[in-house]
Structure formats: C-alpha cells, structure tokens
Amino acid sequence: MLNKISKLPRATKRLILFSVDMMLIAASLIVAFALRFGMTVPVEPLQTNWALLPALLAIGALLITMMRLNQIKVHAVENNMVLRLAVFAAVLSISAMAVSYLFTLPAPRSVPLIFGAVFFMSSVLVHFIARFVLELVRERTQIRLPVAIYGAGATGEQLAAALRQSSEFKPVCFLDDNRQLHGIMVSGLKVHPAQTLRRLIKKHGLKRILLAMPTASSYRRREILEALSSLQVDVIELPNMADEVGHRALHNGLQAKRFKDVASKSHINARNPETLAACKGKTILIAGAGGMMGAEISQQIIRFEPAKLVLFERNETALLDVTRQVKALVRRAGASIQIEARTGSIAVPGRMTHLLRQEAVQIIINAAHYGDPQLAEANLFDLLATNVVGPLTLAEVAISENIEQLILLSSERVAKPRHLVDHTQQLAETLVMGLAHSAANTQINVLRFGQTSGPVGDIVPLLEAQVRNGNSITLPHPEMTRLFLSTAKASDMILSALPHGAALHAQPAHMCKGTPRKVMDFVHKVVDLSGKGLRSDANPFGVDVKFCGLRPGEALHETCDAEKFCTPLAANPDLLLAPKPDISILDHNLALKAFREAIANFDEDALRAMLNPGVSARKEPLLQSA
C-alpha cells in the first residue's frame, strides 16, 4: 500500500497533503472548543460560532497555496518545515481572532489560541509520523550500506541529512575527537569517540567511513586517514574547499586519487565483446585473489558477467578484503554473479581437485605469486611451493579435470633471470609448457608481464613523497623516459587474452607496455597538483627539481626487450608471442622427475642447482631459458 502511495504522481501527492492539512484545521477547531468548554462533542459552541469553520478553511486553503505547504517533501522534515508550520498556525490563530471580532461571535478569545497550538502540534506530529513510517518501509524494502561520519560539526550534520535521503547509504553514527560531544545525539545519531570504531564496525556492520572535517588542517586529516588505514572499511574524505580551489591533491595516503589524468594511456576497455563472450555465464576461479594483481582481476572481470566467481587465497585477511570489494561491485552493478571465497594452497592437488569439481570451474587464472627476492633466499621451499609446485599442480589438475582454459601469470624476466624468484618462474614455465603439449582438452596459456603498481606505476608515489618530505624532486636527466604499465591496464590485457586461448596454447606471451613516456611529464603534473609550482626567483618556495646524472649502467631511455624477439598476436597486438621453449618430451620428463624427487627429499642443493644451472656441476644445464 505504502509503495503504491510513494509511486503516485506528484500532483496526486500534493492533493493528499492539502486534504490532510484541511482536515487538521477542522479537527483542531473542534478540539479547541471541546477543551475550552469541557465537552466531548461541542455541538452547541460550534453552532453558535458557525462562521469560524468555513472562514478558517478558506483562509487555510489560501495560505497552504501561498506558502506551498503541500509541496514539502515528507522525507525532508527539518527545522525549516517546522518553522513554516509554526508561522502557518500563528496566522490561522490570528485569523480566527479577526473572524470572531468581525462577526461578533461569542467564542471566548482563548479558543483561537488553543486552536493554533493544537493545529501546530498535530501538524508537526503527522509529518513526523509519516516520515517515520516511510523510512521504516524503505529500510525493509531497500538494502542500504551502513556508514559512519567522522566529524559531528556542521558539515557532518548536513551530510547526515543528505544521506538520509539516499537510497544507497544509511548513516548510523558520528565519530568525533571532541570529548564534550561524546554520548550526545546530533541529528538523531549518537556521537562516539574514535577509539570505539572497531566495536562499532562489528555492531553496525559498517562498510564505509566518511571523513567530514573540511576545515581541519591537512596534517590532521592525513593523520586520521593513516589511523583508519588498518581497518577493513572504505574511507572517503570530503574535500577541503581551500585545497580544491588551489588544485591540491585531496587524499594523502589512504584511497589516494592517483591523478587519473596523469595516466592518459591507462584507459580500460570497459566492454570487450570477445572477452565478454569468453566469460559470460562461466565459472571462473582466480587463484591468489588477495594479491594486488589477483584483486584487480577479480574486480575487473565483473563487467564480463561470469555466472560464478571463485576467489581462492591462502591469506584469510586478504581474501575477506577482496571478497567484500568484489561483492560491493556486484551489488552496485546490479549483477547476478555468485561470489564464493575459498581458502587453501594451489600446491595441494587433492584440495584443488575437490574445489574444481565442487564449484564446476571452467576457467582458471593463477595470480598467486611469491615475489620478494630477499625473503625468497631464506624460504626456498615456500617459494617453490607457490611459484613452481602450485602452477604445476594447477596444470596437472586442470588437464585431468578437462578445465577449458588455464592462464598462468609469469614474469617478463624469465628470459633473463636476475634472482631466485625469476629462476623459479622460469622453471615453472618449462614444466607447465611440457605438460601443455599433452593437454588435449585444456588450453594452457602463460602470460608474462613486468612490475606494476598503482594506476600509473611507482613514479607518482615516489614523486609525491619527495615533494612532501623535502619540497624537491631529484631526477637523473630531464629527457629520461620510462615504460609505465598500470595494474589496471595489465589486468585488462590479461582478460583480453581469454578469447585467444587456442592461439596462445603452450606458447608464452609478453604484454606490450606501449610507448615510453617522459618522466618530466609526471614531475610537472605532480608539481601542479601540489599547488606550489616550480621554484624560481618569482616563486622561492616552489618545488625544486634537481638533476643528478645517470648512474653507472642506467639507461636514459627504457625499451621493451620483448619486442625484439617476440611476434605480435594478429588478433590482439598487445600480446607478443615468445619463442616456444626448446625442450624435448624426454628432457621435460627427466626435469619433472628430478624436481619431484628433490622436493620430496627436501634436497635444497639439488633444487638450487636446478633453478640456477650456472652453479651446477653439469656442463650442459638441464633447463634452457626461453
């Protein structure tokens, strides 16, 4: 019933509000006479003062039209509305006095005063009851995201009032550093100290915190953002208007806006039709979903409408975080995608076999990676479990379970390994590529990409830190160029490879990084966004840019070495086909057997010799670089 009323035309709603106000005028006059004369039904006083009712109804109808009281939105009941109703009641009360005087009615002079008070209280009460009922219905029919507002000042109050009208967000409480505000109610919400936030997150199921402190100093805002960064909630900062006018960066750390216009080359193809056809309605498993690349792929793949997305990760905290983010994206997109979160290791064959059968997986993307070279040296077996045993297990299980497609993410450095991590990925590629030749029903693809970080790579955070800490930027050379591949762009290119599984089967492919870009372009943009400008005689407090010269072995211009020995895929030039590994089936079987024996016996010397043949006593290395 209430849903039908909310969907009525606006003219009909105004007519209903007009009718309610007119009935309140008549009812208030009757109540006023009843209170004054002590009667339950004051028939005789009403008959004696018959002119009051039609006069007040006529005056009320005129005032309602003039003051637009029937156009007040019920959801937006606020102080301004109460004030307008008070003025309306006062004018009606004075009008009742005037009518009694003009028509010499015997009604006591206290009746108009009682009438005005009764009408005002009943009108306000009706509006608030209507608002409460509508909000109660909306709470039961709409799923709104619970949010907390940090800052119980004027901005916070205005934000709470605005969010109450929102169909997406529901304000549940305030947070504030002012001890005098703790425990009091502001705009109907209780103010809590920031120290109780973890308890509030659990109690209210908070998903987002809105920082509404635009007048606070940038240092204080940054301090609060850093303190909130450890919590599993999204934090959005309302802009400081002075910063906005000065073109300064609005975020300082948590959820920072990494200057979207800086990376003009990083635009993502929102709806690749070939990828859509390859993913739509499929069950896709993403291993290592809690990592940087896995999380990005998990979020981007939503737009290609898989039927089910299985997020697989051994770190439960990371898995919970990415699952929350992906589910929020699915909810906002209004998609019917089933999200499943599963913990475990890809190096356990039984676990993977059971999971693939249980979820009826059709496509696997392995983004699990052990990448820290320093930790790798002291944790060889964990490194091998993630970077070699895991991909090998996935390939074997995928082949045995007739999985449609398996994508293994590797590194472009396997062609020229520099450290132990690179050697593990080189070994994994060799062993998996050998298995791919015997895979009749499973397309096995290996995609190599370089280091990525953030929307535009490592350069922007580095420049920001230099400006923030020393108000200066140091570069080797003003003409230096570098290749920048963002995490988002790399993820988009990985997904664009899905339709070309047959062409990429058993042959590694590099991802094109595009054209090099001048580092000074990023410097100018960061300096502009800082609001300080470059240092000069006219601007002595600007950012100082220094050039220290190239270090030994450092190149002025970065190039993509893969383009020298790779061939672009005709159907997708962003994918560069590398030469197939030159290893026979016999050598592959020997290598696979030797690796498994070394793993089973925890033979670290044999494993290191296999990873880095240069340290082995063998004159001819067992494995060749791709």
**Residue 162, domain CATH:** 3.40.50.720
Encode pLDDT of 416-451 as tens digits: 888 899 899 999 998 999 899 888 899 999 999 876
Q: Please state the domain count of the chain.
A: 3
Task: Say if CB 454 and CB 487 are below 8 A apart.
Answer: yes
Higher pLDDT, 555 or 382: 382
Whole-angstrom CA distances from 340 to 143, 313, 367 are 21, 11, 17
Reported as a pLDDT band with limits 50, 70 and 90, residue 270 is: low
pLDDT (average), residues 148-172:
83
Strand partners, 499: none
The predicted-structure confidence for 53-72, as pLDDT tens digits, reads as follows: 888 889 888 888 888 777 66
Give the per-residue pLDDT at 617: 37
234: left (phi over 0), alpha (psi -120 to 50) or beta: beta
Task: Average the pLDDT over 550-565 and give the result.
Answer: 78
Residue 226 has pLDDT above 80, yes or no: no
Helices (H) and strands (E) in the chain, counts: 25, 19
Residues 6 or more apart whose CB falls under 8 angstroms from that of 26 comprise 53, 57
Higher pLDDT, 81 or 512: 512
* pLDDT at res. 294: 93
Q: Given pLDDT bands bounded at 50, 70 and 90, which one contains residue 313?
A: very high
Please report whether residue 383 resides in a domain: yes
Q: For residue 452, what pLDDT is reported?
A: 63
Task: Identify whether residues 166 and 216 lie together within a single domain.
Answer: yes
**Both 291 and 157 in a single domain?**
no
Place of tokens 């494993």: 607
User: How confident is the model at residue 619, as a pLDDT?
Assistant: 35
Tell me what percent of the chain is helix, strand and coil, each rounded to the nearest 5.
Answer: 50, 15, 35
Among 16, 21, 22, 20, smallest CA distance to 4 is for: 16
Is 122 in the same domain as 231?
Answer: no
Residues in Cβ contact with 220 at an 8 Å cutoff, skipping those fewer than 6 apart: 213
- Does residue 450 lie in a domain region? no
The two tokens of residue 42 are 């004051």
The answer to whether 337 and 302 have CB atoms below 8 angstroms apart is yes
pLDDT of residue 281: 95
Residue 102 has pLDDT above 50, yes or no: yes
By residue count, the chain amounts to 626
One domain, residues 29 and 118: yes
Task: Judge contact between 11 and 63, C-beta under 8 A.
Answer: no
pLDDT reported for residue 322: 93
Q: Mean pLDDT in the chain? A: 82
Of the three residues 80, 109, 139, the one that is the final residue of a domain is: 139
Do 91 and 171 lie in one domain? The reply is no
For residue 452 the two structure tokens come to 């990525």
> For residues 485 and 498, which has the higher predicted lDDT (pLDDT)?
498
Residue 531 one-letter amino acid: G
Contact between 127 and 74 under an 8 Å Cβ cutoff? The reply is yes
Res 254 pLDDT > 50: no
Cα(472)–Cα(527) distance, integer angstroms: 10
What whole-number distance in Å separates Cα of residue 565 and Cα of residue 227? 48
Q: Which domain holds residue 620?
A: 270-445+487-506+576-626
Mean pLDDT to the nearest integer, 541-557: 86
Residues 362 and 238 grouped into a single domain: no
